[in-house]
């Protein structure tokens, strides 16, 4: 059977008697027009290998395979393995399914620089992203679906209410752009909130691991007391002296400090 001859995603789910599990963050995209659009936003070339986390019934996986990509898909819920097996059989060996918890998976089991495209399970989306940013994977790009509120935090600029620890860490490593909004009704079952796709492109000069570790300490302290001035919120890390050595005004508050300034503080700390 070829990809075009596969039953619809709805029919595959019904035939397998599968219902979404809330505890696994399961909200499926069953409209191939939507998943094809996400794949276009990922802007990948046929023949490339891509990592997908949480293929579920395989809506996004189908669109990736249709685009001529090779897919390594990591799925925790074994109930989907038979449906994904049918998809693998219809795709000339271009789909490899890894049954695993992506949070616990050894990154060495994944192709190191492959792009990641995923409609992430919202309950673990942020820890997964932080792991990819700070761990050994050197992915070429990430095209990821998040709850809209998380997408806004990721792409937020200094001075906005959404700007925080996640914005600084992501933007220190990647250029971040929200590229597509999706209403809750686009998913089956619909979640309580809207969603958005974020495109993340790693910057050419990645900060060293020690600087990223220091960056997380600085932002935890600064945003932990976001209304206080840096000289107070960073007191445990050197406060006024740390700011002076970095050449930064100690009366600034967390949300006014740019990503470049946080990186400068982290470099001083290391």
Q: Which of 187, 100, 167, 176 is nearest to 142 (CA)?
A: 176
Quote the strand ranges of the chain, DSSP E: 49-53, 70-75, 95-99, 116-119, 142-147, 174-182, 195-202
Residue 154 token pair: 């990721």
Stretch that binds ligand SAM, among 99-107, 161-169, 200-208, 227-235 (CB under 6 A): 99-107
For residue 100, give the nearest of 59, 53, 62, 60 by alpha carbon.
53
Cβ 203 vs Cβ 141: under 8 Å: no
Q: Does 119 bind ligand SAM (CB under 6 A)?
A: yes
> Cβ closer to ligand SAM: 174 or 182?
182
Min dist CB 174 to ligand SAM, Å, is: 21
- The residue (of 75 and 255) whose beta carbon lies closer to ligand SAM is 75
126: contact with ligand SAM by CB under 6 A: no
Binding mask 45-84 for ligand SAM (x = CB under 6 A): --------xxxx--xx-------------xxxx-------
- Of 161, 156, 166, the C-alpha closest to 226 is 161
Judged by CB under 6 A, the residue of 115, 121, 158, 164 near ligand SAM is 121
Nearer to ligand SAM, 17 or 247 (CB): 17
**With respect to ligand SAM, which residue has the nearer C-beta, 56 or 158?**
56
When asked if residue 132 is in the footprint of ligand SAM (CB under 6 A), the reply is no
By CB under 6 A, name the binding residues for ligand SAM: 24-29, 53-56, 59-60, 74-77, 101-103, 119, 121, 124
């Amino acid at each position: 059977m070829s990809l075009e001859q596969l039953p619809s995603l709805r029919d595959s789910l019904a035939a397998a008697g599968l219902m979404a599990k809330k505890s696994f963050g399961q909200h499926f995209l069953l409209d191939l027009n939507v998943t094809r659009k996400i794949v276009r936003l990922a802007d990948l070339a046929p023949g490339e290998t891509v990592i997908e986390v949480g293929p579920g019934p395989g809506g996004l996986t189908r669109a990736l395979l249709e685009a001529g990509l090779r897919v390594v898909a990591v799925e925790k819920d074994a109930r989907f393995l038979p449906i994904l097996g049918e998809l693998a059989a219809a795709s000339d060996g271009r789909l490899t399914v890894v049954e695993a918890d992506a949070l616990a998976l050894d990154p060495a089991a994944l192709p190191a620089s492959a792009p990641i495209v995923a409609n992430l399970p919202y309950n673990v989306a942020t820890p997964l992203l932080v792991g990819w940013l700070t761990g050994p994977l050197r992915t070429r790009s990430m095209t990821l679906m998040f709850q809209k509120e998380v997408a806004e935090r990721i792409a937020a600029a200094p001075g906005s209410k959404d700007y925080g620890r996640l914005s600084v860490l992501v933007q220190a490593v990647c250029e971040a752009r929200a590229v597509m909004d999706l209403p809750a009704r686009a998913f089956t079952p619909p979640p309580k909130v809207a969603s958005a796709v974020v495109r993340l492109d790693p910057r050419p000069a990645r900060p060293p691991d020690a600087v990223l570790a220091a960056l997380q300490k600085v932002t935890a302290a600064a945003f932990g007391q976001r209304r206080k001035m840096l000289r107070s919120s960073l007191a445990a890390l050197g406060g006024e002296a740390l700011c002076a050595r970095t050449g930064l005004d100690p009366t600034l508050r967390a949300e006014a400090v740019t990503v470049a300034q946080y990186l400068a503080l982290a470099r001083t700390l290391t």
